[in-house]
Amino acid sequence: MLDVVLTKEVENAAAVAQKMGWQGVITKGFKAVNYDDKSRTLIERGQADCVYGFETVAWKDDVHHRNSGMNEVIAALMKKKHVAYGICFSMVLAAKGEKRAQILGRIMQNIDLARKANLDICLASFAQNPQGIRSPSDLGSFGISLGLKPEEAKKALYFAEERVNVNQKKKEKAYISPDLYLE
């Protein structure tokens, strides 16, 4: 299993990740995008592997429903373009008090939307520094507590590594589509 980190201290992060139980960290070959207004075009073009951070968009929740940042239209577009929904643990770790509770509730709602749209889910630390890296068992337990089934949590932990392998295959000359290769 590989963890996705967003730090420039790659060697230090890799050492910390190995102590935590990861095989290594992903810094290249995987395009993880923090959601904002500009990232919608990356989703439409299929240029992202994973989009995270829907929950931090500064929309105010209504009385009868929560504005989680993702909706059925975006979820269907992500499914069509093979873009995964990312759950960012470092964002939850950085939030305090009521803001953390709000983010957790929004993640739970987005997991339900991702399930309805049959989206892939990527569960990773997305750590900005080596101190934000957590073990795979911690992230798996976090995913289960958010409402993922154990097999979904395990698949979400392996998603980034599998997508990196697919991206490497896409660079080969024999690649045409996921099911079609030249011989």
Per-residue pLDDT of the chain (183 residues; tens, 9 = 90+): 888 888 778 888 888 888 888 888 887 778 888 888 778 888 888 888 999 988 887 677 777 777 788 889 999 999 999 999 999 999 999 999 999 998 999 999 999 999 999 999 999 999 888 888 999 999 999 999 999 999 999 999 999 989 888 888 877 777 777 667 676
pLDDT of residue 62: 74
Separation between Cα atoms, residue 39 and residue 46, nearest integer Å: 10
Using the Cα atoms of residue 82, residue 160, residue 48 and residue 78 in order, give the sign of their dihedral: positive
Write out 133-173 in H/E/C secondary structure: CCCHHHHHHHHHHHCCCHHHHHHHHHHHHHHHHHHHHHCCC
Written as one letter, the residue type at 92 is V
pLDDT of residue 3: 84
Containing structural domain, residue 106: 2-181
Domain CATH for 49: 3.20.20.140
Tokens matching residue 149:
């089934």
Total tally of structural domains belonging to the chain: 1
Separation between Cα atoms, residue 84 and residue 77, nearest integer Å: 11
pLDDT of residue 79: 93
pTM, two decimal places: 0.86
Angle 126-118-59 from CA coordinates, rounded to 5°: 55
pLDDT of residue 178: 66
